[in-house]
């Protein structure tokens, strides 16, 4: 069952509370993770887009790639098609360009405007 069920909705009951997330440790050798959050104004905590990436390389090729986006769809999403396309592919600029074109296909950003 998914935790996020729709915009502003989660699968918790009215008397439940989320107390922790568990992320199993990942081997650090030839791997890295990063997160980026973009907001139109620093004074507000409303993201326009958020992206997290984790990758592991083996001889210059992706042995693992995970891409996740928040605020890019009604619920957080992973770009699994891009992850699968990158599997065992070399890390280079031409491939990065093709991944850049694949990811947005599933994204439907929510743009919040004051007063609407």
38-82 residue pLDDT tens = 877 766 666 778 889 999 999 999 999 999 988 777 778 888 889
pLDDT digits (tens, 9 = 90+) for 15-42: 988 888 888 887 888 999 999 888 777 6
Please give the pLDDT value at position 59: 93
- What predicted TM-score, i.e. pTM, was given to this entire model? 0.73
The Cα 90–Cα 25 span in angstroms is: 25
- Averaged confidence pLDDT in the chain: 81
Helical (H) or strand (E) element with 83? helix 80-86
- The alpha carbon of 20 is separated from its chain's Cα centroid by a whole number of angstroms, namely 19
- The alpha carbon of 29 is separated from its chain's Cα centroid by a whole number of angstroms, namely 22
Residues listed for the chain: 116
Q: Which residues pair with 49 in a beta bridge?
A: 38
Extract the tokens encoding 39: 């907001």
Please give the pLDDT value at position 101: 80
CATH of domain 31-37+48-110: 3.30.390.50
């Amino acid at each position: 069952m998914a935790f996020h069920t729709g915009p502003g909705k989660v699968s918790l009951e009215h008397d439940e509370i989320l107390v922790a997330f568990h992320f199993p440790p990942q081997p650090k050798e030839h791997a890295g993770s990063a997160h980026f959050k973009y907001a139109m104004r620093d004074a507000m905590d409303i993201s326009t887009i958020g992206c997290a990436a984790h990758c592991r390389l083996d001889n210059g090729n992706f042995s693992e790639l995970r891409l996740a986006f928040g605020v890019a769809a009604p619920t957080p999403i992973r770009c699994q098609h891009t992850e699968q396309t990158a599997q065992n592919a070399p890390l280079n600029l031409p491939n990065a360009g093709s991944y850049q074109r694949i990811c947005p296909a599933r994204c439907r950003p929510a743009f919040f405007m004051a007063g609407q």
